[in-house]
Structure 1
Amino acid sequence: MKKRKLGKSDLWVTELGLGCMSIGTDEKAAREIIETALDEGINYFDTADLYDFGENEKIVGSALKQVRENVILASKVGNRWNQDKKGWSWDPSKSYIKEAVKQSLKRLDTDYIDLYQLHGGTIEDQIEETIEAFEELKSEGYIRYYGISSIRPNVIREYIKKSHIVSVMMQYSILDRRPEEEALPLLHEHGISVVTRGPLAKGLLSDKMLEKVSQKGYQDYSQEDLLTVLPVLKDKLAGDRSFTEVALQYNLTHPAVASVIAGASSPEQVRANARAINSPSLTEDEIALIKTISKTTYYKEHR
């Protein structure tokens, strides 16, 4: 599987990463998903301290222990479970981040995290303090690099100006093209990579697309919009290939994108996603067609 450089780091991540949130808490089944990802050549695994109250980190760390030096391990911080475990609060403070990383390292059973990401962020945060925490963790050797997971333009701009982030994780798909006009060009200009999540738009961009349409619609698309647009996209673009291929390849068309993070709840899904990533790139005509059929959308909030 091809690799791309993550920002200005020396990390080379596979074009497909495994989003570990959906692997579940059955250790045997989860391990099988992770081992399938390794077999497919995936080297990039993304978890967070929030997932399954930390159990996810434990499972991921255990499954990757024997190949630790050959993989890129990413985790996230900033969301703090309440004592009753029924919800969480946002805490991007330096003291919390520096304590939380130690707990993550313990659960992951590793000495360092390759990419540590702020799991959210608002413009009201003490951003300089948060950056200071990540910079200290880097100099102390607990983490190799850091990034943020955010779709808020105002937050992203602050981190570009003030920090040494190497990546921004953001939602991006054919049905959510908000990053295209502003975020992707800006980040690319500054040598910061984008790691995309939600590339299949909750299954709407898979071969089960119409089964996944709900009354709520999706982003700027109503239910009626989706029932009209999805069949046209499939008819014009899928042909001999699965629509998953079209969807994942679309994410890779922008040079700012280093890796597409796709979740999987079974080994079969991992294999299907790997086939999609390894399939031929979209042509310029196909990209233009997608942009004609789908909506150009913009970030309206957090300006």
Structure 2
Amino acid sequence: MTEYPRPDRFSLAPGYEISRVLRGNWQLAGGHGAVDRAEAVEDMIAFADAGITTFDCADIYTGVEELIGQFRAQYLNRRGAEALAEVRVHTKCVPDLSKLGTLTRDQLQDTIDRSRRRLGVERLDLVQFHWWDYAAGDWLQAAQWLEEFRIEGRLQFVSGTNFDTDHVSAMLAAGVPLRTMQVQYSLLDRRPEKRMAELAGEAGINFLCYGTVAGGFLSDRWLGQPDPGAEIENRSLIKYKLIIEDIGGWDLFQALLVTLRRIADAHGTDIATVASAALLTRPLVAGVIVGARNRAHLASNLAISALKLRAIELAEIDAVLAQGRDLEGDVYTLERDRTGRHGAIMKYNLNKEEA
């Protein structure tokens, strides 16, 4: 097996570094199949030992915060406090759609405190705030409550996920110092570049990117394959297939895969690695979040940071993408329309009430 160096690191703030490849843990959540909890903890230890020391999770990923809490305790026992100090855990605060209109400060604090208990920490590292419907409840007040919790010491950084540019601007104006914004960002979905990148650059906000391989579409598996049409059952693939259709269709997508395969050949790697590594070259991108169910994905995750693409290769990718169309709207606009093609497949009430 190829030996890869430890991933590059990115400084989000003095004394706060993350690995530029973050391990996503949504695949460990309930609904994705049975999880061997002891084995899952061993997998996390292997990732941290290899240098992927930043873990992404959410309060709505059933069972995942607890698993990461177990990993942290085991890592402390085996590697010591100095090693554990390099581990960062980024969770999310995602109130259910049905509860937005009645959400109180106490309820939101209970959510934050529940994440602290699950993760076994006094202070959460970074909390990424999400709000399903801007018209339901008071999202700005909730963001301000999170900032109050930060001042109280319950969390170190307030961040966001899937807010559009105007709402990010409003939070900044209201005194909520967002540190990062987690966004769906890939070679196929470049909506963060349309408006938000300018604001983020001015405000010192960095992007943490998910969906960099478009649910698996940006991989060798789909090179040369016919358009699957509607014959897709996986909800994630349906989501990204809609993106492919909106930017120009299957022929354009195949042209992109051919280009990525040619670049991958030059580096002895695969299409998925090139697709994620390309995102690390984009301005303001601090890291890419890559799903990994177990250690079998560790080498491929390490390969992302190790791959250094040349300017001419990035230009070849951009030349293909220039033939397509821009996606409609700002960050996450399509997904917020619950009656539209993109929003209709989303799930909105995912929290569990257990402590």
In structure 2, the gaps of 5 or more residues are 1-6, 30-34, 77-83, 231-240, 335-355
Q: Does 1:232 align with 2:240?
A: no
TM-score (norm 1): 0.87
Write the deviation string for residues 103-158 of structure 1: whole angstroms up to 9, x where unpaired. 11111111111001113454335243112211221111110111001153332232
Q: Does 1:129 align with 2:141?
A: yes
Structure 2 counterpart of 1:77, from 88, 93, 103:
93
**Separation of aligned partners in 2, 1:206 and 1:273:** 14
Partner of residue 15, structure 1: 20
- Mark the CA change 1:109 to 1:181 in structure 2 (over 3 Å): closer, same or farther: same
Write the deviation string for residues 257-285 of structure 1: whole angstroms up to 9, x where unpaired. 111111111212122111122222x2222
- Mark the CA change 1:208 to 1:176 in structure 2 (over 3 Å): closer, same or farther: same
Q: How does 1:48-87 map to 2 (within 5 A)?
A: 48-52=58-62, 55-65=63-73, 66-67=75-76, 68-80=84-96
Identity over aligned pairs, percent: 24
Q: How does 1:223-262 map to 2 (within 5 A)?
A: 224-225=250-251, 228-239=254-265, 240-262=268-290
Structure 2 counterpart of 1:33, from 36, 43, 60:
43
Q: How does 1:80-159 map to 2 (within 5 A)?
A: 80=96, 89-91=98-100, 93-124=104-135, 125-159=137-171
Partner of residue 84, structure 1: none
Structure 2 counterpart of 1:207, from 220, 224, 232:
220
In structure 1, the gaps of 5 or more residues are 81-87
**Separation of aligned partners in 2, 1:229 and 1:175:** 12
Mark the structure with the bigger radius of gyration. Answer: 2
Aligned residue type for 2:72: L
Contact kept, 8 Å, 2:207 with 2:285, in 1: the verdict is: yes
**Separation of aligned partners in 2, 1:221 and 1:42:** 32
Aligned residue type for 2:165: P
Contact kept, 8 Å, 1:213 with 1:227, in 2: the verdict is: no
**Separation of aligned partners in 1, 2:191 and 2:94:** 24
The Cα shift of 1:291 comes to: 1.3
Aligned to 2:214, the other structure's residue is in SS state coil
Aligned residue type for 1:74: H
- Mark the CA change 1:213 to 1:32 in structure 2 (over 3 Å): closer, same or farther: farther
Contact kept, 8 Å, 2:140 with 2:171, in 1: the verdict is: no
Aligned to 1:76, the other structure's residue is in SS state strand
Write the deviation string for residues 141-181 of structure 1: whole angstroms up to 9, x where unpaired. 11011100115333223223332010000011111122123
Write the deviation string for residues 46-79 of structure 1: whole angstroms up to 9, x where unpaired. 1111012xx1110111112234432111111123
Partner of residue 284, structure 1: 311
Structure 1 counterpart of 2:8, from 2, 5, 9:
2
